Amino acid sequence: MTEQPAPAKLELLVRRDDDEDFELRQVASVVGYLNSRPRRVESYEISELRSRVAGSPGFVLKNTTTDRFLLLSAHERFLWDQMNGATSLQEIATAYVLQYGEFDFDIIPSLLRKLQRAQLLTFEPRSRLRQALARNRDRRIVKAIELALTALERIRIASTNVHGFFQRLYRYGGFLLFTPAAIVACVGLALVGAGAAVLLFREMHDVLEGFGGRAMLGIVTVKLLFFGSVALHQFAHGLACIHYRRRVREFGFTFLHGFVPTFYVDVTDIFMASRRARVVTAVTGALVHLVLGGVAFIVAAQAPAGSFTQAFAAASGIIQWQALVIALYPFCFIEMDGYHVLVDVLGVPTLKHDALAYVKGLLNGSARVRLGREEGLWVGYVVLSTLSVAAFIAFNVWIIVSATS
């Protein structure tokens, strides 16, 4: 038997701005594979094939240009629907697990082979934004944006050897977070914190006056402290993953989308656990903000009226609870914890993508209005998300205006 060769690797030298400085990167072919975005061809027809013998339906896929036919299972049909040129193979695999609760390691490569043979597939580059920026590099502003994004994307501090650390963290106290006593304490703090917040809200103007002439400095410091709580949020996700005996693959710091600084933890192994485990893992991180916000409001309520401490604690409480809402509220165009719970429960892993594509089609006239359940879900998602984002921005503007006026 011939031994399978190791994945091919390219060694690349990436120059920095000062021209002599550089970074060496080994890029394995598997990285390219996971980031590739297969796109189905435009000219195809698909129809259901009901069988009296087989329990589940099959599908016949026809390339109308070449007149070649292909038989797909329901699972393959699902994968075919994801191959829109915008979704990477890694995302498609995640969607598959969310949809079917299991993963077949052969199904995607074998389907790709079948589709390529039938000339039903093309591949798209990794990022359309980066492609557009590269095309317009001769414009100074575009080049500056591209350089800034590249520089930020390079900043990634991560370790893939963290599972043992999280196991120890769980063993030496982390397990307490998953006991009934922790739930009672969490609810208690939230209720007392909410009571304190209501009291403070009635005198919000006086409370925020505690910043005095240092309002912006206060708000910036509160934001920086909040950044630390994002790390705690990720720790909680990791501990939940350990609680369900799954593996924490990675923990680190990076710039999300090239410009949002954030900590992250890779708990994708939880996809192999039960839905309950997935929901608990998603929600646990957000509860960190509930607890910290509750504590902050209690401190603010106990602090001398109009003091800097009171203003600082109240602002921290507001930001923590905002983070709680953003993390758990699924309608804000951001794929946070609540969104993942929603798509898991609904069984529509590509909700945001499909909703945006449909509404965009309605707006530019390329899609027709339909009155199905799916279309209702898509329109509802976009409308709710738009209103929510507008309300969120208005609330923050009001907070800043109140604090600075």
Partner 1 sequence: MPASAATLAFLRDVRVFEAFADPDLAAVADRLRERALRRRQVLFREGDQGDEMFIVRQGTILISKAVTGKVEQVLVRVEPADFFGEMSLFDGSPRSATAQAETDVELLILGRENLQSLTETNPSAAAAFFYAMVQVFMERLRRSTQQVAEATRWGLEATGLDVETR
- DSSP 8-state class, residue 84: B
Among 287, 279, 280, smallest CA distance to 341 is for 279
The set of residues, in sequence order, having a beta carbon less than 8 Å from that of 194 and lying 6+ positions away, is: 294, 297
> In the set 49, 60, 129, 134, which binds partner 1 (CB under 8 A)?
134
33 binds partner 1 (CB under 8 A): yes
Q: How far is the CB of 80 from partner 1 (least distance, A)?
A: 15
Task: Single out the segment in contact with partner 1 by CB under 8 A; choices: 21-29, 230-238, 321-329, 390-398.
Answer: 21-29
Parallel, antiparallel, or unpaired for β 156-159 and 250-256? antiparallel
Rounded to whole angstroms, the Cα distance separating 157 from 340 reads: 25
29 binds partner 1 (CB under 8 A): yes
Nearer Cβ to partner 1, position 11 or 67? Answer: 11
> In the set 36, 167, 322, 402, which binds partner 1 (CB under 8 A)?
36
> In the set 64, 65, 66, 116, which binds partner 1 (CB under 8 A)?
116
Task: Single out the segment in contact with partner 1 by CB under 8 A; choices: 1-9, 182-190, 300-308, 365-373.
Answer: 1-9
Rounded to whole angstroms, the Cα distance separating 49 from 160 reads: 45
5 binds partner 1 (CB under 8 A): yes
Nearer Cβ to partner 1, position 5 or 55? Answer: 5
Rounded to whole angstroms, the Cα distance separating 176 from 78 reads: 40
Task: Single out the segment in contact with partner 1 by CB under 8 A; choices: 3-11, 68-76, 341-349, 350-358.
Answer: 3-11
178 binds partner 1 (CB under 8 A): no
> In the set 95, 112, 248, 287, which binds partner 1 (CB under 8 A)?
112
Task: Single out the segment in contact with partner 1 by CB under 8 A; choices: 20-28, 208-216, 335-343, 344-352.
Answer: 20-28
The set of residues, in sequence order, having a beta carbon less than 8 Å from that of 54 and lying 6+ positions away, is: none
20 binds partner 1 (CB under 8 A): yes
Whether the CB-CB separation of 232 and 272 falls below 8 Å is answered with no
> In the set 103, 117, 360, 404, which binds partner 1 (CB under 8 A)?
117
Nearer Cβ to partner 1, position 14 or 148? Answer: 14
- Helix 215-243 with 308-328: angle, nearest 10 deg: 40
Q: How far is the CB of 135 from partner 1 (least distance, A)?
A: 12
131 binds partner 1 (CB under 8 A): no
11 binds partner 1 (CB under 8 A): yes
> In the set 1, 3, 4, 24, which binds partner 1 (CB under 8 A)?
24
How far is the CA of 339 from the CAs of 205, 331, 346, 377, in angstroms?
Answer: 34, 7, 10, 14
126 binds partner 1 (CB under 8 A): no
Task: Single out the segment in contact with partner 1 by CB under 8 A; choices: 29-37, 49-57, 151-159, 203-211.
Answer: 29-37
156 binds partner 1 (CB under 8 A): no
Nearer Cβ to partner 1, position 18 or 42? Answer: 18
138 binds partner 1 (CB under 8 A): no
The set of residues, in sequence order, having a beta carbon less than 8 Å from that of 182 and lying 6+ positions away, is: 176
> In the set 19, 67, 106, 138, which binds partner 1 (CB under 8 A)?
19
Among 279, 350, 329, smallest CA distance to 96 is for 350
Q: How far is the CB of 158 from partner 1 (least distance, A)?
A: 22
Rounded to whole angstroms, the Cα distance separating 130 from 111 reads: 28
Q: How far is the CB of 122 from partner 1 (least distance, A)?
A: 10
212 binds partner 1 (CB under 8 A): no
Among 195, 265, 200, smallest CA distance to 234 is for 265
Residue 156 CB burial class (10 angstroms; 0-12, 13-18, ≥19): exposed
Nearer Cβ to partner 1, position 16 or 257? Answer: 16
Among 143, 369, 337, 320, smallest CA distance to 240 is for 337
> In the set 21, 42, 67, 138, which binds partner 1 (CB under 8 A)?
21
Sign of CA dihedral 165, 257, 400, 188: negative
67 binds partner 1 (CB under 8 A): no
Residue 321 CB burial class (10 angstroms; 0-12, 13-18, ≥19): buried
Rounded to whole angstroms, the Cα distance separating 357 from 296 reads: 41
Residues that bind partner 1 (CB under 8 A): 5, 7-16, 19-22, 24, 29-33, 36, 89, 109, 112-113, 116-117, 123, 134
